[in-house]
Amino acid sequence: MATGQPARVLSISAGRETTHEVERRRLERIGDPCVMVIFGAAGDLTKRKLLPALGNLANDRLLPKRFAVVGVARGRMSHSEFRDRMRDSLQEFAAPPLDPEVADWLLARLYLTPGNFEDPGLYRRLQATLAQIDQDYGTDGNYLYYLATPPSYFAEIALQLGAAGLLTEEDARWRRVVVEKPFGHDLESARALSRQLTSVADERQIFRIDHYLGKETVQNIMAFRFGNGIFEPIWNRRYVDHVQITVAETMGIEGRGGYYEEAGALRDMVQNHMFQLLALTAMEPPISFEANAVRDERVKVLHAIAPLSPEDVLTETVRGQYGAGTVEGTEVGAYRSEPRVAPDSHTETYAALRLFVGNWRWADVPFYLRTGKRLPRRLSEIAIQFKRAPFTLFRETPMEQLQPNLLLLRIQPDEGISLRFEAKVPGPSVRLGTVRMDFNYTDYFGVTPSTGYETLLYDAILGDSTLFHRADMVEAGWKVVVPVLDVWRALPPRQFPNYASNTWGPKEADDLIERDGRRWRNPK
- Known catalytic residues are 273
150 Cβ neighbours under 8 A, 6+ residues apart: 40
Residue in 444, 21, 504 with CA at minimum distance from that of residue 216: 444
Radius of gyration of the chain (CA): 25
Q: Which 3-state string (H, E, C) describes 382-414?
A: EEEEECCCCCCCCCCCCHHHCCCCEEEEEEECC
The strand ranges marked E within 257-412 are 317-320, 322-327, 330-332, 350-356, 366-372, 379-386, 406-412
- Residue 53 CA to residue 51 CA, distance in Å, equals 5
Residues 8, 101: contact at Cβ < 8 Å? no
- Residue 300 CA to residue 382 CA, distance in Å, equals 20
Q: In 117-233, which ranges are continuous DSSP H helix?
A: 120-137, 154-163, 187-198, 216-226
Phi first, then psi: what are they for 319, rounded to 5°? -125, 155
- Residue 39 CA to residue 144 CA, distance in Å, equals 11
Is omega for the bond preceding 497 within 30 degrees of 0, making it cis?
A: yes
- Residue 332 CA to residue 338 CA, distance in Å, equals 10
CA distance to 71, 148, 205, 458, 473, per residue, from 145 (Å): 10, 9, 10, 14, 22
Residue 164, judged by CB atoms within 10 A of its CB (0-12, 13-18, 19+), counts as middle
